[in-house]
Amino acid sequence: MHNNSPPAIPAGPARLLARNWLILGIAALLCSGLLAVLLVLARTPGIQDFVPLREFFHSALVIHVDLSVLIWFLAFAGMLWSLIADEQLMFAAKTGFVLAAAGTATLAVSPFFPEAQPLMNNYVPVLRQPLFFVGLALVGAGFGLTALRALIFARLSGNALAFGIWLSAVAGIISLIAFLASWLLAPQELTGQHYYEVVFWGGGHALQFQHTLLLGVSWLWLAHALDGPSLLSSRVWHVFFGLAALPLLLVPLSYFLYLPHSVEHMKAMAKLMEQGHMTMLPMIAGIAILLPGLARVSSPAKSALFASFGLFAIGGILAFMIRGVNVVIPAHYHGSIVGVTLSFMGLAYVLLPRFGFGTVEGKMARWQPYVYGSGQLLHILGLAWSGGYGVQRKVAGAEQALSTLPQKLGMGLMGLGGLIAIIGGVMFVVVCLTAMARRSPASPSTPETKAGTSTPETKAGTSE
């Protein structure tokens, strides 16, 4: 096996555990998508005045963000961490999953209980009620246990992808420690949104490095599934992943130098994310040189890889256009987040048959990443346009104060893109459920089925 090849899919309980993590992530994305319908309609001119439960907007937004950004990403991380870990302490591994699943279910139902009190702080927005925090604590314990087990019992064997996954577990543990440190050190006199901004600021910034490391893992895995040429050696990819993780060393330094509620700490963490992700450029370049050789391939994995790369690049460009507090900010992070999400969607398509489900194939699967990606592209372009005209973030309905035609056109484009993206999200769930309904005899010993094929002997790419 080439050391740039994906890690072997384990047998027995380990494979079942990884499969359950994937199912949890898909379920979280499904619930998040249902909430997204309300969110988009509540901000679309001409429709927003007729949407029921408009006052529910902020509570729905909190859970939508937590499910689509926190749980979906962490569940996918949990799946990959389970794939590289030895079968030691399987009881702890199963306990971690049960805790995370129970916490996710608790978060999902929490806004329907009294006194939700939504707070729109960054990274992990909260509902200020006991049930929400019970769910969040269960999720943190489950993911922390899973990451720690991967950190200690990982099977690396010189494999570049396994090394990238292991580094993401390092990032996850650093993030969790940062969350705990901020919570313990945050002054009790802080109140409301300011308090939770402090609690989640440092760890939230660190967590982005976990996501981007797994983005690189997914890109390289997808390129391999498409028979992409191995233009760079395993040693080079080890260096690329190491460079992408290097800024994490500055996270504990920031906590050592500054208190988490200080202006200096918050500026240091913001600067870390702003400049630290530049260390991803070699990894991005390494993927970019593979794309021309895959341009004529036709498969769901190829669609996801290209759409993911494009959206992530656009999100990065928009980061340099942020001026003040407006909807250019969500335009930037929607582009980056959707880039990560699309790569995970593509990798889910590749892994479903390896987990014993049916092969992902057909026109819907090939078009789904493009539909979802194009909708999100319109969504973020509408936000970026409106932000240039001063539309504020985290508001809905009349609070948006859309007084000019450019503002209304921009937010209308945002609404149209959001609805198209919802269709793309529904397509992803339908494709996954269709594959799950078709059991496959595939096992870890079966030669890896290339993305978008029906038999191991059929190659992924067909000339378009």
Tens-place pLDDT, residues 222-256: 999 998 777 788 999 999 999 999 999 999 999 99
Q: What is the mean pLDDT of residues 139-148?
A: 96
| Confidence band, pLDDT 50/70/90 cuts, at residue 35 | confident
* pLDDT given for residue 50 in this prediction: 52
CA nearest to 233, candidates 4, 462, 76, 53: 4
The pLDDT of residue 459 is above 50: no
| Confidence band, pLDDT 50/70/90 cuts, at residue 161 | very high
Q: At which residue do the structure tokens 């029906």 appear? A: 454
Determine phi and psi for 447, rounding to 5 degrees: -55, 140
Determine phi and psi for 324, rounding to 5 degrees: 85, -170
Q: What is the mean pLDDT of residues 405-412?
A: 61
| Cα–Cα distance, 355 to 341 (Å, whole number) | 20
The pLDDT of residue 276 is above 90: no
Q: At which residue do the structure tokens 């993401």 appear? A: 168
Q: What is the mean pLDDT of residues 166-190?
A: 95
Q: Which amino acid is at 31?
A: C
Q: What is the mean pLDDT of residues 393-400?
A: 44
CATH 1.20.120 corresponds to the domain 299-464:
yes
* pLDDT given for residue 446 in this prediction: 42
449 vs 310 pLDDT, higher one: 310
* pLDDT given for residue 449 in this prediction: 43
* pLDDT given for residue 45 in this prediction: 59
| Confidence band, pLDDT 50/70/90 cuts, at residue 185 | very high
Most confident of 38-52, 357-371, 437-451: 357-371
Q: Which of 219-233, 290-304, 400-414 is the least confident region?
A: 400-414
* pLDDT given for residue 451 in this prediction: 43
| Cα–Cα distance, 348 to 19 (Å, whole number) | 10
| Confidence band, pLDDT 50/70/90 cuts, at residue 44 | low
418 vs 358 pLDDT, higher one: 358
* pLDDT given for residue 393 in this prediction: 47
Task: Tell me the C-alpha to C-alpha distance, in Å, between residue 56 and each of 52, 216, 352, 396.
Answer: 9, 36, 36, 11
235 vs 3 pLDDT, higher one: 235
| Confidence band, pLDDT 50/70/90 cuts, at residue 271 | confident
| Confidence band, pLDDT 50/70/90 cuts, at residue 138 | very high
Q: Which of 230-239, 271-280, 352-361, 449-458 is the least confident region?
A: 449-458
| Cα–Cα distance, 403 to 452 (Å, whole number) | 48
- Compute the mean pLDDT over every residue in the chain, rounded to the nearest whole number: 83
Percent of the chain residues past pLDDT 70, beyond the cut: 80
* pLDDT given for residue 158 in this prediction: 84
| Cα–Cα distance, 188 to 210 (Å, whole number) | 29
* pLDDT given for residue 203 in this prediction: 96
Tens-place pLDDT, residues 100-116: 999 999 999 888 787 88
Tens-place pLDDT, residues 55-96: 567 787 899 889 988 999 999 999 999 999 988 888 999 999
The pLDDT of residue 132 is above 70: yes
* Three-state secondary structure string covering the chain: CCCCCCCCCCCHHHHHHHHHHHHHHHHHHHHHHHHHHHHHHCCCCCCHHHCCCHHHHHHHHHHHHHHHHHHHHHHHHHHHHHHHECCCCHHHHHHHHHHHHHHHHHHHHHHHCCCCCEECCCCCCEECCHHHHHHHHHHHHHHHHHHHHHHHHECCCCCHHHHHHHHHHHHHHHHHHHHHHHHHHCCCCCCHHHHHHHHHHHHHHHHHHHHHHHHHHHHHHHHHHCCCCCCCCHHHHHHHHHHHHHHHHHHHHHHHHCCCCCHHHHHHHHHHHHHHHHHHHHHHHHHHCCHHHHCCCCCHHHHHHHHHHHHHHHHHHHHCCCCCCCCHHHHHHHHHHHHHHHHHHHHHHHHCHHHCECCCCCHHHHHHHHHHHHHHHHHHHHHHHHHHCCCCCCCCHHHHCCCCHHHHHHHHHHHHHHHHHHHHHHHHHHHHHHHHHCECCCCCCCCCCCCCCCCCCCCCCCCC
275 vs 70 pLDDT, higher one: 70
Domain boundaries, the chain: 1-30+58-225+232-289, 299-464
Tens-place pLDDT, residues 310-356: 988 887 776 665 555 545 566 666 778 889 999 999 999 999 999 99
Q: Which of 193-207, 324-338, 395-409 is the least confident region?
A: 395-409
Q: Which of 22-26, 232-236, 327-331, 394-398 is the least confident region?
A: 394-398
| Cα–Cα distance, 7 to 16 (Å, whole number) | 16
Which residues make Cβ contacts (< 8 Å) with residue 251, sequence separation at least 6?
174, 178, 202, 205, 206, 269, 272
